[in-house]
Structure formats: structure tokens, C-alpha cells
Structure 1
């Protein structure tokens, strides 16, 4: 017998509604990922009403699935006004004829909430339930990491001795480290996405590690088109050098990609990435710069987490740093304080980079002034040559060796 009543329950606050959804989900043996999606979906539709002082009602009922061994749980949310956009929720729902929102999810083999030896969600507490849901959200990142490990093993099998040399890197002499470093850089390059082909945009990137003795690093980038035609760009600078910082940067870029493709607002992604990753890696610290660019209109959105500002160089030679305040992943109060809105005209050059590019023997502003001069000097070159040429200019004066990433985007006339 199900201990949870099926009669409608009225809620006046969002925390109580979330706890009720979690109890219902656990009683019906819903997977953690499904539970997390259901909590987020119910909260998204109920929050506007509850914050405005209006109540909502929640009711549940068992249903028979298409197969006799797949029972369903029907969860119905009744709000003062019919919702919109239920198909875009983390867990898609249906709208009933009376305007209520209905989710139908498969239940587990038992629906009495009795899990021998396992405390209930209420006993474990809200934090434990939330951590379980975050672990489920990271399943996709874990799958990508597992795929990366598989590819590394295949590479080791087809390229004799590469993995063995990698493991023994710190035990070999300097000559072997230098030779092996080149191989590792090739491996790291394989992890970095190549330039994408987008009508109306030219893209190029330059990366250089801090030194041949540490060929991997924490400076990473990602770029990909979104379903609405805009291009998302991520630049990450994870604290430290070597393999650990590479792993941290990969985790951040994978989490950002997942959140972006799931449709999370750009301004919330830095803080959400922190919430997902830091509980499992408390030492993780990374600066993050996120850009969203429309090739057709040139509209540009920026969110920042403690990262150096992007630079725009207009066709008339004027330069502007796009400053956005925020704090990075692993920092106190992480997240971008706002979104910066800008626009790129045809021929404008957009530069994103890590701090290894602008550090000089003088103050940071001096490095930014040198970057503007270098960008003006090389802005008419083919875009694939610009990041490397700028890095060569900037590294004539260096405060200390650091990984360097420079990424250039130029808006061009559409070929259509």
C-alpha cells in the first residue's frame, strides 16, 4: 500500500513543494535523474505563482502503462493559469484539457517506499537528495570521460609505447621528456575541438603550454552551434598546470556544454557549473568566459567568471574591452553578475584569451594595451594566422611562463 496520499495537496511555498515531489519520487522508486528533472520541471511552472502569493495543487495517481509490467505514476500540477512551453521543460509534460500540467513517468518495481537498509529522502535530508540528483546530472560528463579513457587506450595499442612513456615521464631524463612532450601535445590537441564552419564567421585558435616539461595544461576552449543558429564559445583557465588542470578544464567545458545544450540561461551557467562540479572536486578553481554570437545579426552576449575581458577590434581600428564582473568556478559567490550585450559588425575582430597572453613585467593594463597594438597590427591577416601572430608579439615580454590560449572570431558577409 502506498504511504503517500493521492488526494490533491495545496502548497504555498516552493521549498515545501520541492520536498513533496522528492518524497513522491522516492516512494515510487524513480531514478535520481528522473527525480531531479521532475523537481526542476514542477518548480519552474509553480515558482511564478508561489512567488506572487498564489497557491498551487499537486496530486498523484497510479496508471497502467502500455505494457502490464510498466506501471506509470501520474503527477498533476494545478496552477491558477495554464502554463506555456511544457515541452521545453527538463522533463516534458502534457497539458490536460482543464489546463493542468501532467507528467507520466514509469515507476520502479515497488511503490510502497520501503527500501530495506536505505534511509528515505526525508531521513537523508534535502542536501543528500540534492547531491544524489547532481550526481545523476553528471552522468553525461562521466560518460564522456569514460569515452576519453577508451580512446586513450586505443591510441596506446596502435602507437606502441606512448602510454608507457606517459606514465614514466617524470622518471626519464630531460631528452626523453622533451621527445615525449611532443606526443602529449598531439594527444591534448586531439581533445580540443577544431574550428567549426559557420556561414558568416571565421574562427581560429592558438594554444601553447607553459613549457615542454608540462605539455598539458588547464587552458581549454569549446565552440559549437546551438539549435537557434547562434554559436556558443567557452574559454576556461583551470588553476595549476599538468594533467590535473587538464582534467579540471575538461570537466568544466563538458559541464558548460551540457548546460548550454539543455537550454540553461547563459548568465546562470557559471554558477550552475560550480554547483555541479565543486561538491566532487573541492579544490577545483577555474575562470570562465562564455560568449553567445549570432552570425546573421552579430548580436553578442557575454557572461564572465573571473576571466580576463574579451577584446573587440572594429573595422575602423577602434578597440574596446568588454568588461563583465563575475566570479569563477570554485570561487566564493560564483557566477556572472550580469550579461553584457554587444554587436559585431562585418569585419570586426573578436578576441578571447587566457591571462598567459597578457601578463607582462609591468601592470596588467600594460598587457592589455600591448594586446590592442598587436591586434591592430595583425587584424588584416587571414584569421587562422592572427592568434599565433598575436601570441608571438605578446610573448616578447612575459612575467612568468604560463599556458596561453588565444581565440579569434571575425564576422564576415554571409555567403547565402
Structure 2
């Protein structure tokens, strides 16, 4: 059974009273009554505010079988002006048609014999007030939510712009920092040498990328008698403090060498000079003295890894002089190790960061021999860097690394040793 009723309203009060009576007449639950009243009046209020009217059409479909629930269809159709609010904003969702009409389908409770419809009571009005308050609160929260989203979008935009500015500033600082470090590193290096019959090159890499150098330093210079002096130092620690210690050692050694002290006494004398000023100083030292004309080589050592020599014909050996480093008990070299480099021979001086990257010095020394033999025929300027690259394919123990190569220039076709060579500083 179906029954349809239609009425026109132009005020919210009349519409509200009519919907309340309708819901009460069909014995809708209190909650459903309140939601239907608020939803219908919310839809119509937009039309009323624009000076229009609405048609309220109600259709009741009774169940064909006794005891089964029926259905109440309520349609609010605008007759002029205004727009319908979104159904999702209503306490009782509605279906909106193409003509702008909103429809609610509300299940009817099964009829109860002897029950009569009652007029709206105080609980209906109280529930309606609560629903209206809840809707107003929801609208306020939605407005706050939209405002916060807008503010958040503006904040995110500002943060992104600030992030870009910071990245640009950091990039400028990194470039300036890198330039400063390179200049400082160059300042710590001795100037290049140009020696008849000798080729020298060096590779250095600090343990930390944020420091220009560490405790590994070298020095080379020509003595008044024409011989070439080379110092390799590995001071304990990393960073600026160890650099200062290594610089103190190299400067003391240079002073003593230029004053004419015997090579085998320089390490012990350096210890005597520096220890009163720095009781914490500990450093290993390798000193080499080479006479270019004859190839005569002298080595003094203070706890430093042995030098490696690779002969022009492929033979190789470690030249191990004994002694104790700066800051060690009874510091000094036990004597001199003498050798002779022939044309094409290659001498490799280094710090333990080259051979102990895998924490096994003996295994590192064996790998160093293989790397030196692999690259011995390269130009001297390329040898230290190529050897270091081979040695550091796997690093388990990062440390400052220094590799220094000295080669007696091969003889020319006429049997003479090759001419003057400008020494590069390979990295």
C-alpha cells in the first residue's frame, strides 16, 4: 500500500513543525525523528534564505506482509533560489536528484496494534537542539580544518623555500670549505723538486673527508752536497692535533739535516728536542738519503714500516732498518741501512694506513708488493695513486694514507741517465 502527500512551505518554522508531526505520526524513533527534522530544515533553509519555497512530498509504502517494516520517503524540492548543501554535511544523509530535490528514505517500524500517534514532546525539541549544536560545532571544526590546511600549505611552501635557500648556502659553504682545505693541504706540502735523474711523486688521503690532513706527512729537500733528503712521518691520532705533531717532527728533522747531523742520529735528536714541549707526542719516522749521481741510498728508521724497492728487472725486497720512533723508549735508529738504486729502480715509502686497511700488516705488505709490480711500468707520477687505489679496494680499518714513490730515471739510448725531471705532486 502506498500513500503520497504533498505540501508547500515558505518558512522554516512551518516546515519544521510539519516534519516533526510527520515523523511522530509514523512513530519514528526519537533519534531518527530529530535527524530527519534537522536534515530537512537544513536543506530548505538555503532556499528560504534566498526568498524561495519548497514542496515537501511524503510517500508511505506499507509492507505487504503484516509485521514487516514499511518505508517513509520524504522529498524536499526547491521552488526557487538557493543551492542544496552537500548530503555528507547532514545528520541524516540524503539523495540529491538532478532537479535539486533531496530525498530521505526512512524505514518505518512495524505497526503495533492499539498504538496512537502522539504529538511531539520535549524530548524531540531537546534532541533537535542537540543536533543543531552538533552541526554548528561540526561546521566550526570544518572551517578550522580548512583554515589549518591553508596555513599548513603556506607553511610548507615557506619551509620548502627556506630549505632550498639553506641547500644553496650549504653548497656555497662546502665549496668554500673545500677550497680552504685544499689551500691548507697545499700549504703543508713541501714545494716540488726538480732533480737530475730522479722522479718523485706522492699520494695522500686523510682518514676523514672533513680534514685536509692528519698525522701522516712527508718532506723532501736537497742538501748542500746535492743529496736528496726525504722524511715520512706518521704521528699518533688524526686531525689537526696530529698534523701539528707531524709538522713539528718534519721541521725538526729538516733543521737537523741542514745543520749537518748524521742521518742515523737525527731521530734520537728530534725526540730529545720535542719531548720536553709535548710529552704526548708519538710518531713513527722513516728517513731516506739518496745521492742522485750514484744511486746510493741510506735509510734510518724509527718504528716505521719498511721501504719497498722494486728493481728494474722485477726483483723486489723490503728494506727494513730497525729503530724506535719519537716518544718511544730509547727513541732513535739503530743504524743505517745502505743500498743502491739503479736506473729504473722504484723505491716506495709509505705509512701503515696503506698496508693495514684490512688490519693484517703481513697480508698488506704482500698485497703492496703485488700492487707495486702491477703498476711499476706506469709513469712515476701515477704510481702512488694507482697503488693506493689497489690497496684500498676494501677498507676495514680507515687511517690516513701516504704513499711516496722515488724512481731513478732509466738510462737513455746513449747509456746516460735521463735528464732533469720536474716533480709532480700526485694525489
Q: TM-score range by the shorter chain?
A: 0.5 to 0.7
CA separation in 1, counterparts of 2:178 and 2:236? 20
Aligned CA distance change for structure 1 residues 256 and 334 (closer, same or farther; 3 Å): same
The equivalences for 1:326-345 within 5 A come to: 326-345=323-342
1:269 corresponds to which of 266, 269, 283: 266
Q: Does 1:415 align with 2:419?
A: yes
Structure 2 residue aligned with 1:406: 403
Q: What is residue 245 of structure 2 aligned with on the other side?
A: 248
Q: Is the 8 A contact 2:184 2:212 kept in 1?
A: no
Task: State the partner residue of 1:207.
Answer: 204
5+ residue gaps in structure 2?
1-168, 410-416, 421-427
TM-score (norm: length of structure 2): 0.55
Aligned residue in 1 for 2:136: none
Cα distance in 1, alignment partners of residues 171 and 365 from structure 2 = 35
| Shift in Å, 1:318 | 1.1
Structure 2 match to 1:355: 352
Partner SS for 1:198: strand
Q: 1:217 aligns to what? A: 214
2:388 aligned to 381, 386, 391, which one? 391
d(CA) in 1 for partners of 2:403 and 2:175? 24
Any residues of structure 2 matched to 1:114-125 within 5 Å, and which?
none
| 1:381-414: CA deviation from partner (whole Å, max 9, x where unpaired) | 1111111111111111223111111100000115
In structure 2, the partner of 1:260 is 257
Q: Deviations over 1:132-166 (max 9, x none)?
A: xxxxxxxxxxxxxxxxxxxxxxxxxxxxxxxxxxx
Check conservation: 2:307, 2:349, Cα contact below 8 A: yes
Work out whether residues 178 and 212 of structure 1, in 8 Å CA contact, stay in contact via their aligned partners in 2: no
**1:13-412 paired onto structure 2 within 5 Å:** 180-361=177-358, 363-412=360-409
- Over 3 Å counting, the alpha-carbon distance change for 1:211 and 1:354 in structure 2 is same
**How many residues in Structure 1 have an aligned counterpart in Structure 2?**
245
How far apart are residue 370 of structure 1 and its match?
A: 0.6
TM-score (norm 1): 0.57
- Contact kept, 8 Å, 1:181 with 1:212, in 2: the verdict is no
Asked if structure 1 preserves the Cα contact closer than 8 Å seen for 2:264 and 2:333, the reply is yes
Cα deviation for residue 271 of structure 1 reads: 0.3
C-alpha offsets along residues 310-346 of structure 1, whole Å, 9 cap, x if unaligned?
Answer: 0000011111000111110111110001100100010
Give the conservation status (yes or no) of the 8 Å contact 1:290–1:303.
Answer: yes
- Find the structure with the greater CA-based Rg: 2
- SS of the equivalent of 1:387 reads helix
Q: Which residue of 1 aligns with 2:90?
A: none
Coordinate RMSD, CA, aligned: 1.9
| CA positional deviation for 1:180 | 1.7
Shift of 1:363: 2.1
In the aligned structure 2, how far is the partner of 1:195 from the partner of 1:298?
A: 20
Mapped partners of 1:245, 1:362: distance in 2: 21
